[in-house]
Amino acid sequence: MRLKGPNSGLVSLLYLAVTVSLLAQAGLAVKQEDFKTSEQVAFYRRHRAFADAVAKESRLLGKSASTSQTASPYSVLQDSVYLDGHTLVASVQHGADKISLKLSVSFLDKGIVRIRGQETHPLTPRFDDTQKLVLRDGGANLKYASADSLQLTSETVNGETVHIVSFKDANNTASLRMTERPWTVEYVLNGKPSILLNSKGQFHFEHLREKPGADGEVDGADGAWEETFRSWTDTKPRGPESFGLDISFSGYEHVYGIPEHASSLSLKTTRGGGKDAYSQPYRLYNLDVFEHDLDSPMALYGSIPFMVAHNAESTVGVFWLNAAETWVDITREKSSPLGNLFRLGTPSKEPTVSTHWISESGVMDIFLLPGPSAADMYHQYADLVEQTPLPREFALGYHQCRWNYLDQDDVLTVDDKLQEHAIPYDVIWLDIEHTDGKRYFTWDSGKFPDPVAMQQKLAYNGHQLVTVVDPHIKRDTEYRIWKEANDNGYFVKNKEGNDNFHGWCWPGDSNWVDYLNPEAASWISNQFHLDKYNGSTPNLFVWNDMNEPSVFNGPEISMDKDIKHHGGWEHRDLHNIFGMLYHKATAEGLRTRESPNKRPFVLSRAYFAGSQRYGAIWTGDNAANWEHLRASIPMVLSNNIAGMHFAGADVGGFFGNPTAELMTRWYQLGIWYPFFRAHAHIDTKRREPWVFGEPYLSHIRNAIRERYRLLPYWYTLFREASLTGMPLVRPMWMEFPQETSMFSEDSSFMVGSAIMVVPVTDADTSIPIDVRLPAQENWYDIRSHAAYIGPLKRQFAADLATTLVFVRGGSIIPTRERHRGSSELMRRDPITLYVYVSRTGTATGRLYLDDGETYNYQNGAFIERELSFENAKLTSRPSARTESSPEQLEFLKAMSRVRVERIVIVGMRNPLTKAVVVENGQTRTIELSYAGHKLDSECTIRDPAVLVGNDWEVTLS
């Protein structure tokens, strides 16, 4: 082993390697003592004590803790409220400390309300770059409501002044009502209070201040100026700067989102007890958690502070834009005495979910999204953080990964075996062992003597390679990457700011590039270019792991909070966006390595709001057991709810050795994750699909082939997400918003609007599976086409060959039916259309195609067809977004031989005999054939020979 640089002792490295290996082999659960509970976090303790004191004082005053008129000490200063264009401005002050806070309430397009707050005259600036790094165009081009559409009035209710801004958009008649004493905000939608701020009096803002005496205490609480966790001391040079606010959802019983947690889909109560309640708040703080717990609110690898509330009438959202450590408590009131804020003493029968958000530093920056539908709300959220862009088409295929494929021969053997067993795949992955001593951007020449030839061999059949490039840089004076970064001052600094921050990760002694520094981020991007990354080709893509960041010898296995980033900012201010900034820099490097630019593919473990712009994520290091299989469903759904659409979980489980049955069931579920990758720990047995033999090999192959058969549907879904912001995989309530029994359902889900998946997540195949088919609609088994009429609740048997997947009546599903070895080899294959008829005899769908790799689609180089079936006629017309351009004409020419080779109409009631096809003024007649679950229920039009890019219609008679 070659070691260079100070503090790189052989003994320490060996100890690190042995420790990690033993932990993995022992299969230990998470070491709880490595991670903080809320009681060990000083700023949370202070806010909890403040909230409890307010509740106690309210009760002493003869008021319930949940009344609108709480004992909150924060009030609006008299005569400080005014409307400045699209922004309501107010000064708020704590009754005791007399420090003025400037609050601005901005009214955006589509009814979005933004509320920002900090000291009117802060002692030093607060970190406020999160908005620049997360919001669309850095927040510079947000669309604001017209000043003419806003009206400010003030009135006195029970002796208290209330300021009301009324406005209206296409979906809501709304008003924002702000009381002065105490300061509260109520967002009223269509006459109903929906989102309430400080209704419980928990708003508390720790203003920046000079350091007091030696005890360093604030309001009797410790940890304000220094805090110790185990052997690490956080020096807190800026002192206390946290803030908290209660946000209540009136009329709602369920809230969702704020990933990442191994928790239920409908977020649980964290205070006040009750069935299945947690004893800890949900924590948002990106961490590398070894073998994490299930059914827990503890922090994991990513953080998206976006929460959604839903009831049978509406869907609303709250986006808490802050990158520092954040805790969220949740309480529920079935019959709330909250009442209308301005009709004191009038009880309300509305249920309420109350949340208490607490962040350690930064500026208070909150967005209220009014919906009222889920689609409306996701349009609003996408206006803020952008949609998920179209990925490389190959990234939707199957990814074969483990830590680690041993060498070049092993990679090519796996490639050959997959082809031998006729298993399609698109990407094979290499973990950290492919490098020269964990020096990223290098190869172990003994194991990989010719990586270019290896990639060329893979590319011949349309396969790609992904290599891991972690953010820690081995401290080695002869390592080019380290030397350039060090010489240019690109590394994160220690707490004094006078030397590089050092920590331990896979290479041993390491440094971390400071991606907050634009010059450093640009430099790391350039390292992914073909002339910099030796041995890379255009068919190599990248995996960012360990980017929470993971620091083996740091507090909570991460960076110290008081170390310094570009601009002198502490790590505490930006911890949760560190991984996203690396993800962004990597994606930018891949995007710009070729001319013209091509879409990148980058997988990241850490993420934040905005990460969807740069690639995919996965749920982290799960385990090979049935419990983790089940937990992956709400975890992937919660990420999609929060806008992180391209998400998946390690198929088979990362730790441990799955049984053949578990592996089979995981593939049968995994094909419905947006990101579909099998992965395994270095100490696990080999588990490629053929390892398990028959019948498991056939079941797994059939599952993977089903993913490839449906790639046109998946790619069209990504197109929809790129335009609307709607999730790819959706909780049942999102498609059936008035089905109250579905509001907490996380054992089944929708893929787009058309496909319902009910995974089998139990080892015992003798246990029937409960399935609820919602709505007054036809449902069809996706394989047998057996029809069921909803609403229906029944049990289904599910042997290992059976998957429970149903298509919603009224849907048209595009597929490609020919078995190929990769998605690239399918690109010119013909399309089959499955028309699943609704109860009214109609169906709609869409087909989207482009070249799958370039940005030419932004100039019109795509085919997007609106498909409609009505009165026994199927039509294909261009979407409204289709416009003629040179790029579009060139793409149409390239796709001129791609045709629809078959149309299958499922659920026909009346036998018909022929189809009349009209295309480009030409008419031809085709005889129909029948099959299906019932002999006359499924008719097939064989080879209508219409081109996917043309207008056409097929009429049955």
Q: Is the Cβ–Cβ distance between 52 and 46 less than 8 Å?
A: no
Residue 252 CA to residue 312 CA, distance in Å, equals 9
CA distance 510 to 505: 7
Residue 909 in 3-state DSSP?
coil
The residues that bridge with 68 in the sheet, in sequence order, are none
Nearest partner of 867 among 839, 900, 889, judged by Cα: 900
Catalytic residues: 545, 621
Residue 177, SS3?
strand
866 contacts 878 by C-beta, under 8 angstroms: yes
Q: From CA 5, how far away is CA 9, in angstroms rounded? A: 9
Distance CA 469, CA 754 (A): 37
615 in Cβ contact with 585 (< 8 Å): no
Q: At what angle do helices 408-420 and 451-460 cross, to 10 degrees?
A: 10
Helices and strands (DSSP H and E) totals, the chain: 15, 51
CB 505 within 8 A of CB 470: yes
Q: What is the dihedral of CA 943, 947, 950, 955, to 10 degrees?
A: 0
Q: Are β-strands 472-474 and 464-468 bridged in parallel, bridged antiparallel, or unpaired?
A: unpaired
Q: What are the angstrom distances between the C-alpha of 156 and each of 89, 177, 178, 181, 937?
A: 19, 12, 12, 11, 67
Task: Write the CB contacts of 62 (distance below 8 Å, at least 6 apart in sequence).
Answer: none
Q: What is the DSSP letter of 147?
A: G
3-state secondary structure of 367: strand
Shortest CA distance to 184 belongs to which of 98, 252, 90, 82? Answer: 90
Count of CB atoms situated within 10 Å of the CB of 874: 26
Burial class (CB in 10 A: 0-12, 13-18, 19+), 835: buried
SS (H, E, C) 743-777: CCCCCCEEECCCEEEECCCCCCCCCCEEEEECCCC
Provide the β-strand partners of residue 400: 428, 678
| Contact residues for 642 (Cβ-Cβ < 8 A; gap 6+) | 257, 258, 259, 304, 306, 308, 609
Residue 515 makes CB contacts below 8 A (sequence gap 6+) with 521, 524, 578, 581, 582, 584, 585
Instruction: Write the CA distances from 815 to 602, 787, 951, integer angstroms.
Output: 26, 20, 19
CA distance 650 to 741: 30
